[in-house]
Structures are given as structure tokens and as C-alpha cells.
Amino acid sequence: MPIGGHKQPPVVHELESAIVEGVELTADWNRQLESRVIEDYDTTGLFAIAALPEAESIEWCYGCGKCVPVCPVDVVGEYGPRKIHRKLQTGFDLLNDPDLWLCTTCGNCLRVCPKEVDMIKIMPAARAEAMSQGKPVPAELQGVFESTFKQGNALGQSARKRAAWTKGAGVPVRQLPKEPGPVEYLLYVEDYWSYHPRGHDAAQACARIFHALGIDYAILGHEEKTLGDSQRLAGEKGLFEMLVEQVVETLAKYEFGQIVTPDPHGFNALKTEYPKHGHTFDVLHYTQLLAPLVDQLDWQKELEYKVTFHDPCYLGRHHGEYDAPRKLLEAIPGVKLTEMMRCRENGYCCGGGGGGMWLDGHTQNHTVERLSERRVREAVESGADVLAVCCPYEVSRFEDAAKSTNLDSQLKVRDIAELMDEALGGIEAVAGA
């Protein structure tokens, strides 16, 4: 391991001559009869990245290559920490290269790395440094940063529209700014359930499930802003810190027990990043809240679906939650759960992490297909007719991928909440109650 941030050169003790088993060996012989000159590459780029806060582990790589076959980007392109490290050893300038924006920080490389080279920290640090130096940022990503700064969400929508999804839920959804007072669970909806049309479907389904279970919950409505984890991973450290201050200020106004969110990135932010800034919250993913309660639901019909489940990187690999989503799926009458080859700890990435949700235009020039397209192919190969997800990014990503691969007639993409709600009777059931 490097000492003081840099590898230490060996100390050479060269003798004029040595006697080995009675034979005198001169220094010239030890150099294989002639002097050897070793030309070093320019490693300035490597040491510059290693010097960044939290990026020092890039220097620890010893080239075993275990990371490459598990890297989801390498499956559809040429990537992986070992390849990045080797390029840096040979004069590569990561801060000016498209490779900087391809990593999704899925964490699968860290899972297998014997030296704990941590791309989850290295790539955001390098991206932040590139921005601080005024390096080019992909235009689509820059647009997201601007939208987040101005509107508090990645989609650039008005805060007044954040609770519009509640109108189609068919059940009352309490909004704390309008109905203040203590609440057991604060549902932090996040951007894609709040604004994306397919996110609305899942949000409304979740509201009906909460209602059926009698869960005491509320939302922040127009006062909610994104928790900013994806923006942080994409390199906008300053924007993330601004969001932390704004979010914490809003949360301090209300009394609640636990925060529950559908977004694994929001979950990650509250669980691991906000505490680094001095703010600790008790947080659950919505599947973790529902899994212990699922036996209380009164199912209305069976779903004759063969379902395969996609593990979100930031719920599974990053936080070890694999069982709660599966428990919910297994509880739905009629559902037959089948696993894809890459699942659980070795689950494949949808491509949306680390800012990848907004970088498809950039990555298409450096991969043979999108990660989401590769994943829907794997879902179809499993024999499933439904790909179940529990991350707001994934319904739209996988539905688009199913269409672009002409697999949409074979595979439907549904959030777990949507499947549960369908088996409970959907909005028709609450309308007739």
C-alpha cells in the first residue's frame, strides 16, 4: 500500500561482486551483461487523482482485473477500475476524458476488489475536481444541475406541482404544510414519483396500499426538494451541500418518527451522506416498511405473472437489502418469482446511478447498447413476462429499453407497489369502499 499517498521506490543495495555457491558473480552479470534503462510513463495524472480527498484508493490497484468482468459498463463497452488505473499510469488525463462520466457508482467492483479501490468515492471526487477546474460537463447533465438549483428537482418542474399526483390516488394524502401536526411516517416522495407520469402510477399505488394498512403518514408537498444524492455522485458537491441545508431546514419544521422513501438514492443520502453533515434521520425504503405488514393485506385477485426482480444498486449492494422486495413479490397471489442470472449481490446496473439517469446521450457514444437495454434482454431470457422494480428511475428506463429492443410485447415493467395495488383491486377497490 502507498505510504503518504505515493508508492515508495525499492531501496537497491548493489554489490560490486558476490559469491554464490563458490561462483563469483560481478555486478555486470547481475545486469544481464548490459545496463538496462527503464523509461517511466508520465504518472502525473494518476497522482493528481490520488491526491483528491477520498480518491486516494485509485493508487492502490495492483492490476488483478477482478473488477473488469463485474463492471456493468464493461459488459457493453470498455471500462472498469483496472482499465482506468492502467490508463492513468500511462499518462491518461481522466478529467478531460469521456470515461469520467461513464461510471454509475454501482459498487460491484468494490465488492470484489481485494485492495478496496473505491470508485464510489473516486469518480465523484474526480468529477467535482473537473467542475472546479472548468472542464467540460455533458450538456444534459449541466441542464439537470441548473434545473435542480432553480426548482429543487432534476426535472425542472414547479414546486407547486409536486403534490399533483395525489389527486389521482383515490385516497386522502395528508400534506404537512396544509395539515401540520405529528405524524408517524414522513413519505419523502422524491422527483420521479412526484413528476414523471409513470412515477405517478407507482406513487398513487403506494398511497392506496398505505391507506389499506392504516399507516399514519404524510408528505411535504410543495415544500419538498430533492435530497440530491445523484447530483452529488455526478460531481456537484456544492449543489448537494446547498440542498442539505434547505432540506434539513424544512424537516426541522415538522414532527415525525421515521422517513420512508421509494428512492434508493434518497435512502442512501439520508442514511449515509446527511449524517456526514451532522444530520441523522431514521429512514426506511418503502419495501422495508411494507414487508413486515404484508400479511395484513386483503388481496382481491391473483396475478398470473411470471416476475423477475431487478435489484437497485443503492438498495441492494450499497445497503444490503435484498429480501424485503422479494418478500412483497412472493406475497402477491399468483405471482411466480424467477431470478435473473445477475441478481442480489451481483445484480446488474440499470445505468441510472451516479448521474447516469441523465447521461444516456453521452454514454451511447461509448457503449454498444445502454445498460438498461442489456438488462431487459436478461429479464426476457429468464422467462419472465414482468420485470419488477422498486426504484423511481427504473420504470421509465426499462420501459424505454424494452421499446428500443423491440421486447415491449414480451416484457412489462412494473413497480412492486403497482403489482401489489393491482392484486388489492386498484383504484376501483377504494372507489367502491
Nearest residue to 107 (alpha-carbon basis) of 362, 345, 337: 345
Asked whether 107 and 200 are in contact (CB, 8 A), the reply is no
Nearest residue to 347 (alpha-carbon basis) of 373, 378, 324, 306: 378
* Predicted pLDDT at 194: 96
Cα 149-281-214 angle, rounded to 5 deg: 100
What are the structural domains, with CATH classification, of the chain?
Answer: 1-7+14-136 (1.10.1060), 154-292 (no CATH), 297-431 (3.40.50.10700)
Asked whether 368 and 339 are in contact (CB, 8 A), the reply is no
* Predicted pLDDT at 33: 47
Cβ-based neighbours of 153, under 8 Å, separated by 6 or more = 147, 159, 162, 191, 194, 195, 225, 226
- For 415, the enclosing helix (H) or strand (E) is strand 412-415
* Predicted pLDDT at 430: 77
Query: What are the pLDDT tens digits along the chain (433 aa)?
Result: 444 555 556 666 666 666 777 777 666 555 554 554 545 677 888 999 999 999 999 999 988 999 999 999 999 999 999 999 999 988 889 999 999 999 999 999 999 999 999 999 999 999 999 999 999 899 999 999 999 999 999 999 999 999 999 999 999 999 999 999 999 999 999 999 999 999 999 999 999 999 999 999 999 999 999 999 999 999 999 999 999 999 999 999 999 999 999 999 999 999 999 999 999 999 999 999 999 999 999 999 999 999 999 999 999 999 999 999 999 999 999 999 999 999 999 999 999 999 999 999 899 889 999 999 999 999 999 999 999 999 999 999 999 999 999 999 999 999 999 999 999 998 887 776 6
* Predicted pLDDT at 181: 94
Give dist(CA 215, CA 209) in Å, integer: 9
Give dist(CA 202, CA 393) in Å, integer: 11
C-alpha dihedral sign at 165, 192, 111, 128: negative
pTM: 0.87
Asked whether 120 and 111 are in contact (CB, 8 A), the reply is no
Phi, psi (rounded to 5 degrees) for 135:
-70, 160
Cβ-based neighbours of 23, under 8 Å, separated by 6 or more = none
Give dist(CA 78, CA 84) in Å, integer: 10
Give dist(CA 203, CA 378) in Å, integer: 27
* Predicted pLDDT at 1: 43
